[in-house]
Amino acid sequence: MTTNGSQILDIDPQQHVAHIDGLAYENAALSFAGVALAEVAAQFGTPTYVYNADAILAKYHAYDDSFASMAHQVCFAVKANSNIAVLQLLAQAGAGFDIVTGGELARVIKAGGEPSKIVFSGLGKTVDDITTALNLGIACFNVESEAELYRISQVAQRLGKTAPISLRVNPNVDAKTHPYISTGLKENKFGITHEDAPRIYGIAKNLPNIKIVGIDCHIGSQLTEAQPFVDALDKVIELINQLKADGITLEHIDLGGGLGVQYINEQVASIDEFAQLILPKLQALGLKLYLEPGRSIVANAGILLTKVDILKPTEHKNFAIVDAAMNDLIRPSLYQSEMAVIPVSLQDNGSTPATWDIVGAICETGDFLAKNRVLSLGDNQLLAITGAGAYGFTMSSNYNSRPRACEVLIKAGQVHLIRERETVESLWERETLL
């Protein structure tokens, strides 16, 4: 159903939670990993990010088990969720990590991650970043440009170390995802073109203190189909064969991340389907496989709790102003992402269902969390935004001088505070008056 060109979403909460591990209505009250979310809100306030440890580990193990027939390493993409307790949970399970900054590297080490299981991606690796990574002994640098290759070589020479590298090759494959998270086309800023890769591999072969160990590609995020991975893999295999003919042998292939998740009603390939599609080609190569999933491990393992502050029905539009906002969860504003908003309680609150825009209190028209949602809303009603475990808190900000939310992790039935809510006073701790 549409109105004024906009789709109206009437999501059945009970049907919706059926696809999310650990999320369920028990006696009309929403629980996560067996813990009542109303109790979480009462203890910690709102907005609050809530994560399910069992769901995180289940997705990690799904990747690990699906590729058990070959040498592999699952490297969690830290950008998706960088809380050190989440990283610790994954590190203890055997995960490696995909990082893109020195800050993410520091977080992984603080969380107990093994340097030998870290791959360093990203466009802007600084001299300090490279120095730290080399001293720690990471698995590989995924090199994004010729200039970066020279920089890594120079730092390695100065330290008297050998830098393991792969080139991030841009295969010019359309991932059919949002343009802001498509990374494998020629017009994207990432990687080295497929055509130029042999030349740069040739340079790397002759540079001092550089060891070529692999090849890397990453075509995008939130991929709902597996076929783009196959298309990218075919192009990378062509390049691997060309490199072999040039006397360059590799130890591993890194296929990046990108497998999507079901936010509302998307049809998404399962991890096992994805694995079965690409395993025959990978096994024939005889190389170790690196994967960098992020979203598919943590997105549906997290929700954002928020509370209705003010209801503002108007002649043209009904607005529900909640205590979360675009600074807490920017995906809907930035990517026009559709995320489910469901009530924490199914008890009749006496209100009539109506179509609402769920918005924050920030002074931006783009400050919305959901549009045109059929909900029965009352004052102070608790709502849960699902799929918020990835690119939620990590992309949050202090815009409008709003303190960032707290984060909690449910593990073995216990609720752990893993990040305290910021205070207004904490926002200017590093500022000074004249």
Which residues are known catalytic residues? Answer: 363
Peptide bond into 164 cis (omega under 30): no
How far is residue 184's CA from residue 374's CA, in Å, rounded to a whole number?
A: 37
Q: CA 112 → CA 293, 350, 408, distances in Å?
A: 19, 50, 19
Copy the structure tokens of residue 424.
Answer: 């207004």
User: Residues of 418-428 as b/e, b for ≥16 C-beta within 10 angstroms?
Assistant: bbebeeeeeee
Q: Taking the CA of residue 300 as centre, how many other CA atoms within 13 Å lie in the half-sphere pointing to its CB?
A: 22
β-pairing, 23-26 vs 29-32, is: antiparallel
CA 57 to chain centre: 15
Q: Which residue has the tokens 């995020």?
A: 221
How far is residue 65's CA from residue 63's CA, in Å, rounded to a whole number?
A: 6
How far is residue 37's CA from residue 90's CA, in Å, rounded to a whole number?
A: 24
- For residue 219, report the phi and psi dihedrals to the nearest 5 degrees: -100, -10
- For residue 74, report the phi and psi dihedrals to the nearest 5 degrees: -85, 120
Helix (H) or strand (E) run with residue 287 in it: none
β-pairing, 341-343 vs 414-419, is: unpaired
β-pairing, 414-419 vs 406-411, is: antiparallel
Based on the number of CB atoms within 10 Å of its own CB, is 286 exposed (0-12), middle (13-18) or buried (19 or more)?
Answer: exposed
